[in-house]
Chain A
Amino acid sequence: MKNWFHSWRAAVRIARRDAWRYKGRSFLVLAMIALPILGVSAVDLTLRSSELSASESLDRMIGAADARFNDAAVAGVPILQTPDGEMHTPAKDYGDKVWPSGPTDVTKTFPAGAVVLTDSSGSAKLTTAHGLLQTEVRELKAADPVARGILTLLDGRFPEKADEVAATSHFLETSGLKVGSALSPRGSDTTYRIVGSYELPNDLKTDQVNALPGAFLAPYAKAVEKAGLTAPGVSTTYLVKTPGGFTWNMVQQINTKGVAVTSRAVLLDPPADSEVPLYQKDGWANFETSAGAQAAELAALGTVVGLAMLEICLLAGPAFAVGARRSRRQLGLVGANGGSRSHIRAIVLSGGLVIGVAAAVTGTVLALILTFALQPLLEDAMGQRFGHFDIRPLELLAIALLAVLTGLLAAIVPAITSSRQTVLASLTGRRGVRRSSRVLPLVGLGALLLGGAIALYGSLVSDQFVIVAGGSAIAELGVVAMTPALVGLFGRTGRWLPLSPRLALRDAVRNRGRTAPAVAAVLAAVAGTVAVSTYAASDDAQQAAEYTARLPHGAVSALVVEDGGRDVPAVREAVQRLFPIDTRADVNRVSVGKPGCSPYGEGAGCGRYEIVIPPANECPLWARSDRGEDPSEKFSKEERRKLAEDWRCQEHSGGFHGDGGLLVGDAKLLKVLGIEDAGAEKALAEGKVVSFSKAQLDRNGKVTVKVITDTEKALKAEQEGKPAPGTLTALPAHQVSGDPNSYGVQALITPAAAKAAGLSTVPLGSFYSTERMPTAEQRQKLDGEIAKLGSDVDFHLEEGFVGESSIVLLVLTVFAGLVTIGAAGIATGLAQADAEADLKTLSAVGAPPRVRRTLSGFQCGVVAAMGVILGSAAGVLPAIGLRLTEERERLRFYEESLDEGWGAMSSPPYVPIVVPWETLAALLVLVPLGAALLAALVTRSRGAVARRAAI
Chain B
Amino acid sequence: MSTQQPVLRLQNLTRVHGSGATEVHALRGIDLDVFPGELVAVMGPSGSGKSTLLTIAGGLDTPTSGRVIVENTDITTADRKALAALRRRSIGYVFQDYNLIPALTAAENVALPRELDGTSARKARGEALAALQEMDLGHLADRFPDEMSGGQQQRVAIARALVGDRRLVLADEPTGALDSETGESVLALLRSRCDAGAAGVLVTHEPRFAAWADRVVFLRDGAVVDQTARSEADSLLSGQAAER
B115 touches A14 (CB 8 A): no
Name the segment of A339-347, A535-543, A710-718 touching the other chain. Answer: A339-347
B121 touches A6 (CB 8 A): yes
Contact A17/B55 with A9-B115, A337-B160, A338-B88 known, Cβ cut-off 8 Å: no
Which residues of chain A (13-37) have a CB below 8 Å from chain B? 13-14, 16-18, 21
How far is A949 from B96 in the complex, measured between Cα atoms in Å? 13
User: Does A289 reach chain B (CB closer than 8 Å)?
Assistant: no
A3 touches B87 (CB 8 A): no
User: Does A140 reach chain B (CB closer than 8 Å)?
Assistant: no
A6 touches B118 (CB 8 A): yes
A338 touches B60 (CB 8 A): no
Q: Which residues of B contact A6 (CB under 8 A)?
A: 115, 118-121, 124
Residue A333 contacts which of B80, B81, B99, B108 (CB distance < 8 angstroms)? Answer: B99
Which residues of chain A (211-267) have a CB below 8 Å from chain B? none
Q: A329 — nearest CB in chain B belongs to which residue? A: B98
B120 touches A337 (CB 8 A): no
Contact A340/B81 with A7-B118, A333-B101, A951-B102 known, Cβ cut-off 8 Å: yes
Q: Which residues of B contact A336 (CB under 8 A)?
A: 58, 60, 87, 93, 95
Min CB distance A576 to B, Å, is: 78
Q: Which residues of B contact A423 (CB under 8 A)?
A: 60
Q: 11 interchain pairs (CB within 8 A)? A: A6-B124, A7-B118, A14-B104, A21-B103, A329-B98, A330-B102, A333-B95, A336-B60, A337-B88, A424-B61, A427-B95
Min CB distance A859 to B, Å, is: 28
Min CB distance B202 to A, Å, is: 16
Q: A339 — nearest CB in chain B belongs to which residue? A: B116
**Listed residue (A335, A338, A949, A951) with the most chain B CB atoms within 10 angstroms of its CB:** A338
Q: Which residues of A contact B108 (CB under 8 A)?
A: 10, 13
Min CB distance A332 to B, Å, is: 9
Min CB distance A335 to B, Å, is: 7
User: Does A549 reach chain B (CB closer than 8 Å)?
Assistant: no
User: Does B113 reach chain A (CB closer than 8 Å)?
Assistant: yes
A424 touches B87 (CB 8 A): no
How far is A714 from B53 in the complex, measured between Cα atoms in Å? 110
Q: B93 — nearest CB in chain A belongs to which residue? A: A336
Q: A1 — nearest CB in chain B belongs to which residue? A: B118
A951 touches B98 (CB 8 A): yes
User: Does A4 reach chain B (CB closer than 8 Å)?
Assistant: yes
Q: B84 — nearest CB in chain A belongs to which residue? A: A340
User: Does B78 reach chain A (CB closer than 8 Å)?
Assistant: no
User: Does B196 reach chain A (CB closer than 8 Å)?
Assistant: no
A338 touches B101 (CB 8 A): no
Which residues of chain B (23-51) have a CB below 8 Å from chain A? none
User: Does B85 reach chain A (CB closer than 8 Å)?
Assistant: yes
Q: B52 — nearest CB in chain A belongs to which residue? A: A424
User: Does A2 reach chain B (CB closer than 8 Å)?
Assistant: yes
Q: B177 — nearest CB in chain A belongs to which residue? A: A948
User: Does A334 reach chain B (CB closer than 8 Å)?
Assistant: yes
Min CB distance B211 to A, Å, is: 27
A14 touches B116 (CB 8 A): no
Residue B87 contacts which of A14, A338, A427 (CB distance < 8 angstroms)? Answer: A338
A7 touches B81 (CB 8 A): no
Min CB distance A355 to B, Å, is: 15
- 11 additional contacts (CB under 8 A) given A333-B100, A338-B117: A3-B118, A9-B121, A14-B103, A14-B104, A17-B103, A330-B103, A333-B98, A333-B101, A334-B112, A337-B116, A338-B89
B93 touches A337 (CB 8 A): yes
Contact with B along A282-311 (1 / 0, CB 8 A): 000000000000000000000000000000
Which residues of chain A (330-371) have a CB below 8 Å from chain B? 330, 333-341, 343
A338 touches B55 (CB 8 A): no
Q: Which residues of A contact B99 (CB under 8 A)?
A: 333
Residue A330 contacts which of B95, B101, B113, B117 (CB distance < 8 angstroms)? Answer: B101
B115 touches A10 (CB 8 A): yes
How far is A341 from B95 in the complex, measured between Cα atoms in Å? 21
Q: B88 — nearest CB in chain A belongs to which residue? A: A338
How far is A951 from B144 in the complex, measured between Cα atoms in Å? 14
Q: Which residues of A contact B112 (CB under 8 A)?
A: 10, 334, 337
How far is A21 from B103 in the complex, measured between Cα atoms in Å? 8
B60 touches A334 (CB 8 A): no
Contact with B along A52-90 (1 / 0, CB 8 A): 000000000000000000000000000000000000000
Assign chain A's interface to a size class.
20 to 34
B102 touches A3 (CB 8 A): no
How far is A951 from B93 in the complex, measured between Cα atoms in Å? 17
B102 touches A337 (CB 8 A): no
Min CB distance A351 to B, Å, is: 11
A424 touches B60 (CB 8 A): yes
Contact with B along A739-772 (1 / 0, CB 8 A): 0000000000000000000000000000000000
**Listed residue (B61, B99, B118) with the most chain A CB atoms within 10 angstroms of its CB:** B118
Min CB distance A947 to B, Å, is: 13
A338 touches B113 (CB 8 A): yes
Q: B91 — nearest CB in chain A belongs to which residue? A: A338
Min CB distance B82 to A, Å, is: 9
Residue A334 contacts which of B55, B86, B101, B102 (CB distance < 8 angstroms)? Answer: B101
Q: Which residues of B contact A14 (CB under 8 A)?
A: 101, 103-104
Q: Which residues of B contact A340 (CB under 8 A)?
A: 80-81, 84-85, 116
Residue B84 contacts which of A9, A16, A18, A339 (CB distance < 8 angstroms)? Answer: A339
B121 touches A10 (CB 8 A): yes
Q: Which residues of A contact B101 (CB under 8 A)?
A: 14, 330, 333-334, 951
Q: A14 — nearest CB in chain B belongs to which residue? A: B103
Which residues of chain B (137-163) have a CB below 8 Å from chain A? 160
Q: A333 — nearest CB in chain B belongs to which residue? A: B101
Q: A11 — nearest CB in chain B belongs to which residue? A: B116
Nearest 4 pairs between A and B by C-beta?
A: A338-B88, A3-B118, A17-B103, A340-B84
Q: Which residues of B contact A424 (CB under 8 A)?
A: 55, 60-61
Q: Which residues of B contact A9 (CB under 8 A)?
A: 115, 121
Min CB distance A416 to B, Å, is: 15
Q: B58 — nearest CB in chain A belongs to which residue? A: A336
Q: Which residues of B contact A333 (CB under 8 A)?
A: 95, 98-101
Which residues of chain B (1-23) have a CB below 8 Å from chain A? none
Q: Which residues of B contact A17 (CB under 8 A)?
A: 103-104
Q: Which residues of A contact B91 (CB under 8 A)?
A: 338
How far is A9 from B58 in the complex, measured between Cα atoms in Å? 26
Q: A7 — nearest CB in chain B belongs to which residue? A: B116
Q: Which residues of A contact B103 (CB under 8 A)?
A: 13-14, 16-18, 21, 330
Residue A337 contacts which of B55, B81, B113, B119 (CB distance < 8 angstroms)? Answer: B113
How far is A386 from B115 in the complex, measured between Cα atoms in Å? 52
How far is A21 from B113 in the complex, measured between Cα atoms in Å? 23
Q: Which residues of B contact A335 (CB under 8 A)?
A: 60, 84, 87
Min CB distance A878 to B, Å, is: 45
How far is A334 from B99 in the complex, measured between Cα atoms in Å? 10
Q: Which residues of B contact A330 (CB under 8 A)?
A: 101-103
Min CB distance A341 to B, Å, is: 7
Min CB distance B162 to A, Å, is: 12
Min CB distance B69 to A, Å, is: 18
B95 touches A338 (CB 8 A): no
Q: Which residues of A contact B95 (CB under 8 A)?
A: 333, 336, 427
B55 touches A13 (CB 8 A): no
Contact A2/B116 with A21-B103, A338-B87, A951-B102 known, Cβ cut-off 8 Å: no
Which residues of chain A (395-451) have a CB below 8 Å from chain B? 422-424, 427
